[in-house]
Amino acid sequence: MRKAGLLLITVLFLLTGCAKQQQPQTATVEPEETESVKNELTYPLVLKAGYSTGKEDPRGVALQSMKEAIEAGTDGQVVLEIHPAGELGSDAELIAGLITGDVDLTVSSAGNYALYAPRVGVSALPFLFQDFESAWAFIDSDVMKDLCAELEPYNMHVLAFFDNGFRCVTTTDRPVKSVSDMEGLIIRTPDNQIVMETMSELGARPRSYPFAQLKQALVEGEFDAQENPIPVIFNNGLYEVQNYLSITNHSYDAMPLTIRQDVWEMLPEEYRAVILTAAQEAQTMNREMVAQQTEMFVAFLEEKDMTVDTPDLAEFADATKGVMDVFENVYGEELLKVIEELRTK
């Protein structure tokens, strides 16, 4: 089991390190290989939760609230041990850790789960949603619930959907005011094939890299640029090593909060109810924080001497139409039609 998980991580890095994917990659581990890694639970039960950003990030604040609610609701019989800032590994390693049993819970971008269940990452397609409300309408729909079930054979159970905001581009040496300014930029992306393909279509040269190491990599000049939502840029101090922000909003970043399926199935019903309620309350907190911070942090970033540009998004949307062609066979016309109907309500 653990060897399979390590092999999976290696393959993921090899796959996502290449720009311009012609066909989306699917899981390299068969579902039947992800059988339960524990036969029983012992209490007090300590669940390790890992994520890639810092404690100040909305996902960190929401997880802390969730921890307190779970421990209070179970009288300390279930303890959430939180590991921020990549302490337990990169996003790819955290997700793979649900299979190996090295991680019990994680929250990561939906597109990062696509190696296992490609359709779960559909919400990351470029310029799919124009605002939080339309994005949430799809994420909270029965359609998305059905797609999340595709993760369960890989020992991943979705408790809730946190929000990371709309992804934007920051650069070191030149502003991005038009698509032509993206040409040739070596840009850091997460392990997310949709985001990488989007950057490729814009003319950039994407390369995946662990978020916890990103700031230092920018200092050392390994990348010309990176892309992340505005709250992530501010809360993790990326403005300290980047000079320009372009509000491209090129991809909505939904984040499944997942727990190991084998653990979920073995928990008594009353504990599952406590955890699920805490997760849903944390989801609400997270979303509210992200929406508020997205709006107010632009001014804060300008105060930190970042130059902020708002380019013509129609030009960017037009330049990335080819991304849909790459992934259309994975998602199918019916799913894309449903998304279109939801987002235009």
**Domain ranges within the chain, ordered by starting residue:** 2-15+38-343
Q: Which of 53, 303, 258, 87 is nearest to 164 (CA)?
A: 53
**Domain made up of 2-15+38-343: CATH architecture:** 3-Layer(aba) Sandwich (3.40)
Q: Are 25 and 197 in contact (CB under 8 A)?
A: no
Cα distance between residue 179 and residue 8, in whole Å: 35
- pLDDT tens over the chain, length 345 residues: 433 343 333 333 333 334 454 455 555 556 655 444 456 899 999 999 999 999 999 999 999 999 999 999 999 999 999 999 999 999 999 999 999 999 999 999 999 999 999 999 999 999 999 999 999 999 999 999 999 999 999 999 999 999 999 999 999 999 999 999 999 999 999 989 999 999 999 999 999 999 999 999 999 999 999 999 999 999 999 999 999 999 999 999 999 999 999 999 999 999 999 999 999 999 999 999 999 999 999 999 999 999 999 999 999 999 999 998 898 888 888 888 887 776 666
- pLDDT at residue 44 in the model: 98
Cα distance between residue 252 and residue 174, in whole Å: 24
What are phi and psi for residue 100, nearest 5 degrees? -80, -15
| 80 three-state secondary structure | strand
- pLDDT at residue 246 in the model: 98
Is-cis flag, bond preceding 58, omega within 30?
A: no
- pLDDT at residue 74 in the model: 98
Residue with tokens 């640029």: 225
Cα distance between residue 29 and residue 111, in whole Å: 17
Contacts of 159 by beta carbon, 8 Å cutoff, 6+ apart: 105, 257, 258, 259, 275, 276, 279, 280
**What are the distances in angstroms from CA 226 to CA 18, 125, 133, 162?**
16, 18, 26, 21
Cα distance between residue 11 and residue 94, in whole Å: 15
- pLDDT at residue 17 in the model: 39
- pLDDT at residue 339 in the model: 76
Q: Are 45 and 77 in contact (CB under 8 A)?
A: yes
- pLDDT at residue 10 in the model: 35
- pLDDT at residue 40 in the model: 85
Cβ neighbours around 336 below 10 Å, total: 16
Q: Are 169 and 243 in contact (CB under 8 A)?
A: no
Residue with tokens 């109907």: 341
Show the tokens assigned to 72.
């209070």
DSSP state of 141: S
Q: Are 105 and 257 in contact (CB under 8 A)?
A: yes
Q: Are 132 and 163 in contact (CB under 8 A)?
A: yes
| Environment class of 26 (CB within 10 Å of its CB; exposed 0-12, middle 13-18, buried 19+) | exposed
- pLDDT at residue 142 in the model: 93
- pLDDT at residue 341 in the model: 77
